[in-house]
């Protein structure tokens, strides 16, 4: 099933040639700032990994990975990555990255089970990053400090693109607002999680919603998380559970919250065991990634992904992610977009 919103009176602020040029400017500028602010070096990443190693991210646990047999490996199956959450931590160890430094990469994925629409495509492109931390940084205060650095890079990039294209006006607030998903539930108890995101993001313009993956007081999760990368179950110094979250900004074109990044402090041994037990997936402890984490050969880390097409979509005030990237769309969606002046690539 696909979902499409067609904003009334929508007019692209840039034509297709200007858009292509602006996309490159945004990507070059932002990754340079991200790399500098978080002390990350660029590395080359895989498009696929071997099935059964536990390296691939299983997202919410229901999405099917695109897979194929490898002739020269006896038809062993490879999977196109969903994200590189676990691979990056392995790479930190294998490259012997020091504390306070990290890596980033261009991650390209195919998510065949996405519900296609303005914000979701079969093709996912993001900057995946991961940084080594020490035990003293395994806390909510450090998580917030990293979010603020990323937000600083977001602000500088917006300034750059609005200077280059004066028809685009800046929208990001001076600061990002922090709120825990439990606080958000208390604030809007009668709304769904997505409706709560829309309400809080419209109010503040940019928010970081913390503690995603663990059940809240109403017995529901704010959103799903795989149990073996972000730590969503450790009680932090604010009295809430979780050391992870999402960065959202208000998309004034679509009149809804736009998730730019999912990130967090990664599980230590205790959190991994606890979260696998809670989710009934303790058998994963025998897999390659999990075994290395349990034997102490992987560093503590913080990391996340930042959507490249979504970021460009936001900065360029586009109504559809298909105005930024080339992908496959249902024919009826292409027709509706054409009728409403939304030029899909």
* Annotated catalytic residue, options 246, 266, 301, 310: 246
Q: Is 252 a catalytic residue?
A: no
Tokens 């299983």 map to which residue? 58
Tell me how many degrees the CA angle 216-224-253 measures, rounded to the nearest 5.
100
Distance, CA of 271 to CA of 278 (rounded, Å): 10
* Annotated catalytic residue, options 126, 181, 308, 309: 126
Q: Is 57 a catalytic residue?
A: yes
The torsion angles phi and psi of 265, rounded to 5 degrees, stand at -75, 135
The torsion angles phi and psi of 235, rounded to 5 degrees, stand at -75, 125
* Annotated catalytic residue, options 31, 35, 57, 196: 57
* Annotated catalytic residue, options 121, 262, 275, 309: 262
Q: Is 106 a catalytic residue?
A: no
| b/e sequence 265-289, b meaning 16+ C-beta within 10 Å | bbbbeebbbbbbeeeebeebbebeb
Q: Is 246 a catalytic residue?
A: yes
* Annotated catalytic residue, options 89, 111, 266, 317: 111
Distance, CA of 297 to CA of 170 (rounded, Å): 45
Q: Is 259 a catalytic residue?
A: yes
Distance, CA of 165 to CA of 18 (rounded, Å): 9
| Token code pair at residue 227 | 């149990």
* Annotated catalytic residue, options 106, 252, 259, 278: 259
Looking at residue 167, the DSSP 8-state letter turns out to be T
Give strand pairing partners of 102.
Answer: 40, 131
Q: Is 89 a catalytic residue?
A: no
Residues that are catalytic: 57, 111, 126, 246, 259, 262
């Amino acid at each position: 099933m696909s979902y499409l919103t067609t904003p009334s009176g929508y007019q692209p602020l840039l034509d297709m040639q200007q858009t292509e040029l602006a996309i490159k400017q945004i990507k070059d500028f932002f990754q340079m700032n991200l790399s500098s602010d978080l002390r990350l070096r660029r590395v080359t990443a895989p498009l696929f990994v071997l099935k059964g190693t536990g390296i691939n991210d299983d997202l919410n646990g229901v999405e099917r990975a695109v897979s194929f047999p490898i002739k020269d490996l006896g038809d062993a199956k490879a999977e196109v990555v969903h994200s590189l959450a676990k691979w990056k931590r392995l790479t930190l160890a294998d490259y012997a990255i020091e504390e306070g430094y990290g890596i980033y990469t261009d991650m390209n994925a195919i998510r065949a089970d996405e519900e296609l629409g303005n914000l979701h495509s079969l093709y996912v492109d993001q900057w995946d990053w991961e940084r080594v931390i020490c035990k003293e940084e395994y806390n909510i205060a450090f998580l917030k400090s990293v979010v603020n650095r990323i937000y600083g890079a977001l602000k500088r990039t917006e300034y750059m693109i609005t200077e280059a294209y004066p028809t685009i006006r800046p929208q990001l607030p001076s600061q990002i607002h922090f709120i825990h998903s439990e606080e958000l539930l208390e604030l809007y108890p009668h709304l769904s999680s997505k409706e709560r995101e829309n309400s809080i993001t419209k109010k503040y313009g940019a928010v970081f919603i913390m503690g995603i993956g663990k059940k809240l007081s109403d017995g529901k999760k704010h959103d799903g998380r795989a149990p073996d990368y972000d730590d969503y179950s450790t009680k932090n110094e604010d009295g809430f559970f979780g050391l992870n979250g999402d960065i959202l900004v208000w998309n004034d074109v679509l009149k809804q919250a736009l998730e730019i990044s999912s990130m967090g402090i990664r599980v230590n041994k205790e959190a991994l065991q606890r979260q696998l037990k809670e989710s009934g997936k303790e058998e994963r402890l025998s897999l390659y990634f999990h075994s290395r984490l349990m034997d102490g050969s992987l560093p503590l880390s913080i990391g996340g992904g930042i959507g490249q097409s979504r970021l460009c979509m936001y900065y360029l005030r586009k109504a559809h992610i298909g105005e930024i990237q080339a992908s496959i769309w249902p024919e009826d969606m292409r027709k509706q977009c054409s009728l409403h002046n939304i030029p899909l690539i």
